[in-house]
């Protein structure tokens, strides 16, 4: 059987998304009893108490389909952000929304541009749509090079993706850079601003998420409840976009694409500013502890504003395996020259620093 003939030719070059290793996968490898999973940029914090209570309360109703329109959640988001309900879309994570946007907008012969390395789904969306993609190098300090990205835009470019803080480098786009970019980007190009990690940013120069959003210009602003809100296991992404973009995505998304538990948990997470600030501050503290340890060990790294730090190490693949043996699960990217180390709780940080000391310290 020649299975190739069954599938779209655009699928051939695509590599399936590879999630980070899980604890149970390395139990036989690890030489220590404690495992610290820092490979998937997950929050060490559980869902908010209000979200847990709301999710438990709806379990008896799961015989019914979820609200396919996400009515209550959209109403809550509209109040939280001051964006009209008909300019809000909700998905099974921002991953789904990115793929739906690519499916709705990109065609063979069109192009998408973004900086690299960044989120692999920007490339995957283009590949599935049969579109070409232009990958612009990051700046030397691991940030999106918005000026170079502008220069990469061609007449065929229909979409540009921006990610801040960027995954996997953690670098930000400043407000000044964003202003310059948005003022110059051609009006026929859809700008997709991916802000999955924005709640972790503490740098005052980080771009203001809705500063250019007016519901008219071709700009989509994406957020997620998976990270600082601690809802990665139920997956809720949301975005603000002009009404025609929302309508196009609605034509393509699956009915009931966001489950009931996810919707009520996300809604109950809104308005928790004090807890958000506490989590942001704790993440920044542990991120600083990691960075200071890398400084002491003489390891170069990107200054991060996310819940992970990209650190350059000799022999990344070997270092990755050696960290696994010590119970530290991080993320390696082929050809990246380093490792993405997640920021966990204080116990995670101490264990990570101890493992790095063993591998790279002067008495190793």
19-46+274-360 adopts what CATH topology? Answer: 3.90.1150
| pLDDT, tens digit, 9 for 90 and up, residues 20-43 | 666 667 666 666 778 899 999 999
Say how far apart CA 289 and CA 271 lie, in whole Å: 29
> Span 49-269: which CATH code?
3.40.640.10
Q: What is the mean pLDDT of residues 170-181?
A: 98
Tell me whether strands 132-137 and 88-91 are parallel, antiparallel or unpaired: unpaired
**Amino acid 21: pLDDT:** 66
Q: For a pLDDT cut of 70, what percent of the chain falls above it?
A: 96
List CB contacts of 238: < 8 A, sequence separation 6 or more: 73, 77, 88, 89, 90, 91, 97, 222, 223, 224, 225, 266
State the burial class of residue 188 (Cβ atoms within 10 Å of its Cβ: 0-12, 13-18, 19+).
exposed
**Amino acid 1: pLDDT:** 73
**Residues 100 and 249 sit within 8 Å (Cβ to Cβ):** yes
pTM, entire model: 0.94
Closest CA to 78 of 349, 270, 235: 270
* Residue 14: band (very low, low, confident or very high) from pLDDT cuts 50, 70, 90: confident
Say how far apart CA 179 and CA 117 lie, in whole Å: 23
- Does the pLDDT value for residue 199 go beyond 90? yes
What does the angle CA 154 – CA 177 – CA 284 come to, to the nearest 5 degrees? 125
Query: Quick one: tokens of 160?
Result: 């540009």
**Amino acid 171: pLDDT:** 98
Sorted by where each begins, the domain ranges of the chain are: 19-46+274-360, 49-269
| pLDDT, tens digit, 9 for 90 and up, residues 203-228 | 999 999 999 999 999 999 999 999 99
State the burial class of residue 40 (Cβ atoms within 10 Å of its Cβ: 0-12, 13-18, 19+).
middle
**Amino acid 13: pLDDT:** 79
Name residue, tokens 């250019």: 212
Say how far apart CA 82 and CA 91 lie, in whole Å: 19
**Amino acid 9: pLDDT:** 78
**Amino acid 364: pLDDT:** 60
Say how far apart CA 124 and CA 132 lie, in whole Å: 11
């Amino acid at each position: 059987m020649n299975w190739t003939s069954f599938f779209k030719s655009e699928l051939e070059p695509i590599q399936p998304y590879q999630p980070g290793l899980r604890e149970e996968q390395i139990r036989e490898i690890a030489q220590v009893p404690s495992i610290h999973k820092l490979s998937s940029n997950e929050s060490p914090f559980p869902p908010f108490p209000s979200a847990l209570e709301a999710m438990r309360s709806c379990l008896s109703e799961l015989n019914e389909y979820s609200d396919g329109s996400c009515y209550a959640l959209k109403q809550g988001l509209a109040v939280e952000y001051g964006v009209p309900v008909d300019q809000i879309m909700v998905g099974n994570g921002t991953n789904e929304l990115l793929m739906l946007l690519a499916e709705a907008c990109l065609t063979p012969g069109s192009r998408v541009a973004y900086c690299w390395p960044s989120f692999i789904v920007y490339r995957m969306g283009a590949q599935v749509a049969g579109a070409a993609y232009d990958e612009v190098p990051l700046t030397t300090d691991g940030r999106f090079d918005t000026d170079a990205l502008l220069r990469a835009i061609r007449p065929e470019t229909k979409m540009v993706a921006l990610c801040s803080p960027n995954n996997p480098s953690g670098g930000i786009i400043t407000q000044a850079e964003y202003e310059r970019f948005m003022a110059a980007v051609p009006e026929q190009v859809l700008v997709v601003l991916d802000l999955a990690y924005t709640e972790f940013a503490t740098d005052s120069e980080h771009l203001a998420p809705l500063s250019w959003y007016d519901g008219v210009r071709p700009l989509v602003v994406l957020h997620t409840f998976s990270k600082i809100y601690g809802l990665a296991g139920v997956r809720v992404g949301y975005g603000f976009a002009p009404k025609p973009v929302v309508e196009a995505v609605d034509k393509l998304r699956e009915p009931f694409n966001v489950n009931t538990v996810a919707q009520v948990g996300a809604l109950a997470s809104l308005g928790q500013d004090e807890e958000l600030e506490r989590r942001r501050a704790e993440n920044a503290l542990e991120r600083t502890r990691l960075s200071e340890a890398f400084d002491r060990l003489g390891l170069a790294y990107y200054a991060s504003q996310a819940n992970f730090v990209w650190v350059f190490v000799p022999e990344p693949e070997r270092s990755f395996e050696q960290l696994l043996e010590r119970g530290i699960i991080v993320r390696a990217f082929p050809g990246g020259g380093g490792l993405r180390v997640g920021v966990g709780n204080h116990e995670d940080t101490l264990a990570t620093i101890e493992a790095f000391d063993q591998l790279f310290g002067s008495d190793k």
